[in-house]
Amino acid sequence: MPGLLAGKRVVIVTSNTGVERDELIVPRDRLRERGAQVRHAAVKGEPVHTYRHDLEPADVVEPDGALADIDPTEIDLLVIPGGTVNADKLRTDSYARALVHAVTSAGNPIAAICHGPWLLVETAVVAGRTLTSYPSLRTDIVNAGAVWADESVVRDSSDGWSLITSRNPGDLPDFVDAITEELSER
């Protein structure tokens, strides 16, 4: 699959702490292996502290830059990893919310996993859609007007832009394959 996604521009957004390690590292590395240009942008252009299962400290990762430096017109697909703290911080960040609005307004896809859909709920872009997430977000998603499904990956292409969602790190192979398929179709 090397070169399959050549020229495709992916941005992964995170806070600087509380990021679920594998939900950042696996999509970043697998999409790069498939030829995509992947940038990791954090709230601050400072080291990102990742965790496993929200509680076990893992790697410290250097982002490629800060959210404020991202040009939304240079994004073919936006990825939002989970981690409870990461997602909670992202949904309160004005740059992260503005980026979601810019990407969806341009009709470009978003892929969110685990707690990542909290940012989408906060930006009010999920009403009428079907998606999945970590199970504890189900009520928030339903209250935002969406349908929650317990599946490893859900793709919803309604409302002019594609949304790819998954539940947890165990779904990462399906999540990355769905992102690859979406980018290959564009």
| Residues annotated as part of the active site | 115
DSSP structure class, residue 98: H
Say what the pLDDT of residue 78 is. 98
58: pLDDT strictly greater than 80: yes
Q: How far apart are CA 117 and CA 13, in angstroms?
A: 12
Q: Which helix (H) or strand (E) holds 119?
A: helix 117-122
Confidence of residue 1 (pLDDT cuts 50, 70, 90): low
Longest dimension (CA), the chain: 41
Both structure tokens of 135: 């199970």
What's the mean per-residue pLDDT of the chain? 96
By three-state DSSP, how is residue 126 classified? coil
Judged against a pLDDT cut of 90, whether residue 186 lies above it is answered with no
Name the one residue in this structure whose structure tokens are 């793709």.
155
Burial of 82 (0-12, 13-18, 19+ CB in 10 A): buried
Antiparallel, parallel or unpaired: β 147-148 and 37-42: unpaired
Please tell me the pTM assigned to this model.
Answer: 0.97
pLDDT at 31 over 80: yes
What mean pLDDT do residues 20-44 have? 98
Tell me the two tokens of residue 141: 């998603």
What is the mean predicted confidence (pLDDT) over 44-65?
Answer: 96
Q: What is the DSSP string of 34-92?
A: TT-EEEEEESSSS-EEEEETTTEEEEEE--SEEGGG--GGG-SEEEE---HHHHHHHHT
**How far from 65 is each of 88, 121, 126, CA to CA, in Å?**
20, 25, 27
Average pLDDT over residues 48-60: 96
Place of tokens 């309160």: 92
In this predicted model, what pLDDT tens digit does every residue of 97-149 receive, in sequence order?
A: 999 999 999 999 999 999 999 999 999 999 999 999 999 999 999 999 999 99
User: Residue 2's pLDDT is what?
Assistant: 72
Q: What are phi and psi of 114, to 5 degrees?
A: 65, -115
Distance (Å, rounded) from C-alpha 169 to C-alpha 133?
11
Alpha-carbon distances of 137 from 58, 115, 120, rounded to whole Å? 24, 7, 11
